[in-house]
Amino acid sequence: AKNHGQLMALVDALADLTGMEHDWRDKTLALLVESAVERQQAIASDHPIVDEFWDAVEFMGLAALDHARSKDGIIALNLNQVMAQAQKAGQAMPTLLELKRHLKDARSRPFIEIKTVRSELPGFETVKCWIFKAPKEDRL
């Protein structure tokens, strides 16, 4: 909000110098505050493709897809398995190419790395997974 703050200071200074009506100044400052809040929310949110992915994962059940053995704040997902489960569940899912492009920039569950993990899930031994930091509410 640095630029918005600078604009607000400029509006204040111009209001003093030009005799701008207080009502105009107050409305302009309120609009700048609203704009700063909207900008911060836009910067802090995930890309819609990332949101769609996590919505589908949550719908299908993270416990059935998470290969992480230690539940100490990480999520380990095999994207091919997630895509297959989404298809079985009739869930809309972005393409694998779109996911690979956007998941690395995820904010709600930050991407850590891609690595092979020993799976916690039955029927799997080692699986190549995308590792994400779990949000606090998902951590056990």
pLDDT in tens, 67-89: 998 767 899 999 999 999 999 99
Q: What is the largest CA-CA distance in the chain?
A: 75
* Pair of tokens at residue 88: 């079985």
pLDDT tens-place string over residues 1-49: 468 778 888 888 888 889 889 898 888 888 888 877 766 665 667 789 9
Helix/strand/coil for 24: helix
Residue 87: CB partners within 8 Å, gap ≥ 6?
A: 93
Please give the Cα distance from 112 to 60 (Å, whole number).
22
Query: pTM for this structure?
Result: 0.67
**Residue type present at position 28:** T
Q: Where are the domains of the chain?
A: 2-44, 48-138
